[in-house]
Structures are given as C-alpha cells and as structure tokens.
C-alpha cells in the first residue's frame, strides 16, 4: 500500500500521516510508503516509509513524480483556504481547481484507477438554506473557495463514474480546535477564540455569538478521513460524496464550553469585533446538515464541544 497525501506538510496532512503510520495498514494492507507532497517540506517523521516531496501541485510534472502506477491511495488535502481564495482569485482557481483536475487527470492517464479521497467543505453550500442541510440540498456557494471545492467534487464524481479513479469526497465541517497560528481561512476564529484564550492570549471573534457553526475536532477528522478512504465504492452508490457528521454549535455555545472547561476569566479574553467580510462568508455556510447517511456509513461526530476543548488541552 503506497499512499500520497497532498498538503502533507499541513496541519491535517501531518496528523493524517501520523495516524496512518501508527495504524500501519490501510484498506487491509500494510503501508509500504507514504509520500507527503507540499509546497514546503514536511517535517521529518523518522520513519523509513515516509518520503517528503516539495513542489507546486498545479505543475503536472510534480504530480507525475508523486503519482505512479504503484500509488494505491491518494488523500488530496492541499488547498488555498477560503479567505485567501476570496482575496486572490487566480491563486484559488489554480490550486483548488486546476491542481485537483490535474491530479485526477494524471490518475486517468496512468489508467490504474487508484482510490482518491478529496476533502470538501461546508462552503459548497450557501444562499437560502434550510436549518438542516440535506444530502439532496443544492449547492449554491457564496465564495470562490466554495465554488472551487464544488467543482472539484463534480470532477471527482465524473472521473469516478467513468472508472478513471475510485473516488470519494468527504465534506468536512469546520475543524476546531486547530493548534498553531491563525490562518487566512474565514473560519480561522473558530479555533482562535478557544486556542488563544487557553494560551492566555486575547482573541478576536469577528462574528455574532448567534452564528451557528458545524464543527469537527482534528482527532475525529483524521478518523473520518481514514474510515472514508476505506469505504467500499459500492456503499457510496451513485453519489460518492459524504457530508461528515459534526457538532452544530453557536459561537455562544463555544464560549460557554470554554467557560465550562477553563473558567470565566479565560473566556473573557475574547474581544467581539464584527467583521462584515467574514460574517458574510461564514454566515453563508450551513450550521448543521443531516448526518444519517454519514452515520449509516459508520462515520461519527465528537460527543460535545467541551470534550473537544478538553482533548485540545491534552494536546
């Protein structure tokens, strides 16, 4: 089992690599090699199975170097995040759309139909939405990031239907709590308002407390990625897209959970400064979606956001 992770130096990519290496197998087969491709070099894993590759994922020769007829599974995580894709249209199109298509096309040309998992996002939804988004709710993204993800989904579904890849898309809730620094995602605050106060630092919350988010912890995300990759194509039927189970919480709920876990004083480190640009993007995303299909496929959400914060504190 030879695996490629794009965005392999990123936060989720590294965690996924660690998860896979600890597990030792994927789809019932021992992992022989794990290639981590990214624009920056992935940290050293001190594991002979790991190979770090750097390069521009929108460059076909880079993908051709990393995907061969020996590649059995690809986790495509590399992306330009929502805020940045909105600010830099061409970059978002290049990485989120062109590179995703190139990746599929390299697989098509090789002809061995590897298993390919794309991650997608709440941002594919938008416009007038029901309180709980259903599997059959139309996509109407209100950001370039959401548009590019929706297009990559359609491409993967068609390449999969035609037998060019054995593909599946997992639509991820917003991941919280991410460690590290804020990033250019419009949802960056969903980690920042927990992480920074826990570190004794002030954090800005750019949206209203009533804003509802659909969340998943990093731990649960990695479990879902692996489980999603191992799903049989037949189980997915005519629609290889899965809305991953998550927690529907308001920002106020999140702050209440922070108070519960770490106390009032920590929670008081949040400064409420509405940012209309971020409110517009995040406010267009669904606060919850129907999880019955995801659960039927054996995927699950976190128990509670307080538990998510506790797990984050443990590191």
* DSSP state, residue 266: H
CB 152 within 8 A of CB 97: yes
CA dihedral 258, 84, 74, 175 (to 10 degrees): 10
Residue with smaller CB distance to a copy of itself, 37 or 104? 104
d(CA 35, CA 147): 28
- 150 touches a copy of itself (CB under 8 A): yes
- 158 touches a copy of itself (CB under 8 A): yes
* DSSP state, residue 289: B
3-state secondary structure of 112: coil
Q: CB under 8 A: which stretch of 16-24, 157-165, 246-254, 295-303 binds a copy of itself?
A: 157-165
Q: CB under 8 A: which stretch of 23-31, 141-149, 188-196, 256-264 binds a copy of itself?
A: 141-149
Residue with smaller CB distance to a copy of itself, 263 or 276? 276
Least Å distance between CB 96 and a copy of itself? 11
Segment (H or E) for 221: helix 218-230
- 157 touches a copy of itself (CB under 8 A): yes
Q: Treating both helix axes as pointing N-terminal to C-terminal, what angle do 189-198 and 251-262 enclose, rounded to 10 degrees?
A: 20
3-state secondary structure of 96: helix
CB 28 within 8 A of CB 44: no
3-state secondary structure of 37: strand
d(CA 241, CA 83): 24
Asked about 159 being catalytic, the answer comes back as no
Residue with smaller CB distance to a copy of itself, 234 or 238? 238
Place of tokens 């460690």: 179
- 139 touches a copy of itself (CB under 8 A): yes
Q: Which of 75, 118, 125, 145 is catalytic?
A: 145
- 234 touches a copy of itself (CB under 8 A): no
| Near a copy of itself by CB under 8 A: residue from 58, 63, 103, 151 | 151
Segment (H or E) for 257: helix 251-262
Q: CB under 8 A: which stretch of 8-16, 22-30, 120-128, 183-191 binds a copy of itself?
A: 120-128
Give the pair of three-digit tokens for residue 37.
């491709």
User: Mask 159-178, x = binds a copy of itself (CB under 8 A)?
Assistant: --xx----------------
User: Mask 181-220, x = binds a copy of itself (CB under 8 A)?
Assistant: ----------------------------------------
Q: Which residues within the stretch 73-112 sit at the binding site for a copy of itself (CB under 8 A)?
A: 89
Strand partners, 247: 215
| Near a copy of itself by CB under 8 A: residue from 8, 126, 197, 206 | 126
Query: Footprint of a copy of itself on this chain (CB under 8 A)?
Result: 89, 126-128, 130, 135-142, 144, 147, 150-151, 154-155, 157-158, 161-162, 238-239
């Amino acid at each position: 089992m030879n695996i490629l992770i794009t965005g392999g130096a990123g936060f989720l990519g590294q965690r996924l690599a660690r998860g896979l290496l600890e597990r030792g197998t994927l789809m019932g087969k021992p992992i022989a090699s794990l290639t981590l491709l990214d624009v920056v070099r992935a940290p050293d894993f001190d594991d002979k199975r790991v190979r770090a590759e750097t390069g521009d994922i929108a460059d076909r020769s880079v993908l051709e170097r990393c995907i061969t007829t020996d590649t059995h599974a690809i986790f495509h995580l590399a992306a330009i995040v929502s805020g940045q894709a909105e600010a830099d249209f061409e970059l978002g199109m290049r990485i989120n759309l062109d590179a995703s298509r190139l990746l599929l096309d390299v697989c098509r040309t090789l002809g061995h139909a590897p298993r390919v998992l794309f991650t997608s996002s709440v941002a594919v939804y938008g416009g007038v939405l029901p309180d709980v988004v259903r599997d059959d709710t139309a996509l109407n993204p209100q950001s370039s990031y959401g548009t590019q993800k929706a297009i990559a989904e359609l491409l993967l579904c068609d390449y999969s239907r035609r037998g060019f890849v054995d593909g599946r898309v997992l639509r991820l809730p917003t991941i919280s709590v991410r460690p590290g620094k804020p990033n250019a995602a419009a949802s960056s605050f969903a980690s920042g308002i927990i992480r920074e106060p826990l570190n004794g630092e002030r954090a800005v919350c750019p949206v209203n407390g009533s804003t509802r988010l659909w969340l998943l912890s990093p731990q649960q995300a990695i479990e879902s990625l692996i489980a999603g990759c191992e799903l049989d194509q037949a189980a997915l039927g005519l629609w290889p897209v899965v809305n991953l189970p998550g927690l529907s919480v308001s920002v106020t709920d999140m702050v209440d959970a922070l108070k519960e876990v770490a106390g009032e004083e920590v929670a008081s480190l949040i400064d409420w400064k509405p940012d209309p640009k971020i409110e517009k993007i995040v406010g267009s995303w669904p606060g919850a979606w129907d999880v019955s299909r995801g659960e039927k496929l054996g995927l699950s959400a976190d128990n509670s956001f307080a538990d998510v914060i506790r797990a984050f504190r443990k590191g």
